[in-house]
Chains A and B, each alone.
Chain A
Amino acid sequence: MFRIIHAQFLAPGIKRFVIEAPRIARRQKPGQFVILRIYEEGERIPVTIENSDPEKGTVSIVVQAAGKTTTLLNSLNTGDSILDVVGPLGKPSEIANYGTVVVVGGGVGTAMAYPTAAALKRAGNRVLSIIGARNKELVILESEMRAVSDALMITTDDGSYADKGFVTDKLRQLIQNGARIDLVVAVGPIVMMKAVSELTRKENIHTVVSLNPIMIDGTGMCGGCRVMIDGKSEFACVDGPEFDGHRVNFEVLVQRNSMYRTAEQRSMEDFKHRHEAEHACMATSSAASSANQGEQR
């Protein structure tokens, strides 16, 4: 059992949990994630690590409610426990002094981009960060990102905060303004990472994306998280989750993440019905249409 020592909403449907997990806290590096299971009948889902405190033995994770498991998770509070938390999984981000790095965080992906941005800054890079969200309420970790960036740009889809538009608009501007960019790191929804990769491919800017396929064990055993890289299968949990964005087949990732959509919707509906029956109303907003376990990171 892993005790939640602090739980707090960062935005509607997006919650941060500080969990007691001393082993994970000691080893966690930027770019890695955990897999968790809330209760005995629960599924295993990969979740973003925002950061960790090795001294206190705690790990901070950020979860966006999308399907049943994440909705249930976001109903947990300080003092509750999570049955299983395993990690840190995946290869850490490759941190070096590249020169100028643009770190792009989309939605809840910002939570995963943040420790990488911080590490890149510590390694001496000039870090230009762009974070994007659907609207003002969903912008997360703004002050944290600002603290580790030489410049921070924010976009919202509806223009309710900062600049209206997409993260790619900002990236395009940077490129058009002739800024020298040595590396782009993009973490967020698949469409965003794909758009970023397409933009930087033309400019020949090395681009790293963090992939979020469906996963079970997270140790390479099951092969469920296979992604197509340069036409070949690689496993996101042991070979990734970070890959060269120019080599990733994003269509296959979208297609494979849709594999259980019917089951996920059924699971969510069952859950809502039961929940509604018990509590007459549901605290958390309903599932996003793209609800699925693979989209957590």
Chain B
Amino acid sequence: MPGRWASRRTHGEDAGAPCAESAALPPAKLHVVGRDSYANWEAIYRDNVERIYRLMYAKVGNRPDAEDLTAEVFITALRPLRVSASVGEVRSYLLATARTTLASHWRRTLGREVTTLDTDTDQVEQVLTEGPENPTALTRVQGILAGLPDRYRRILELRFLGSCSLKEAAAELGVSVANAKVLQHRALRLAAERGL
């Protein structure tokens, strides 16, 4: 049932779900930009911090790295920015800074560019225009998961989309922890081969 992870949040009732996440979804914040340029750097920051953070999160998949990279983007970009620049100029400058910041993050940590921020692709626009429920990313992921063998799909859902520990996921699937570990590895490899 690939739709269950999407619907859990909105129904707000997780009593029977395994390893349910307790954190409530914060309310979506809307940014309305009615002018052609910003009043001061604080306005630049407030209008863009969430955009940059969400882009980074989509590329690193974890909060500590996304926070560090977001901070690095603003620290690097704000000083040389002219406040008089247009909203569009400011945003492209921030995006360009984000792209190089992400590239150097990967060079520093893994030596390979695992993900890139192609500033002219649709994906950037999609992350930026959609709300935090990011339905497109979820639909895409679920489409690929739905094509996997049942147990592969289950372990990935339990561990990556839910918040099950390896032990909990093993119990849910009725296998040993060692088996769950192998299952997860194979499932992830197959999902990767299918373009996840």
Q: Does B associate with A?
A: no
Residues on B lying within 8 angstroms of A by beta carbon are none
By a beta-carbon cutoff of 8 Å, the part of chain A in contact with chain B is none
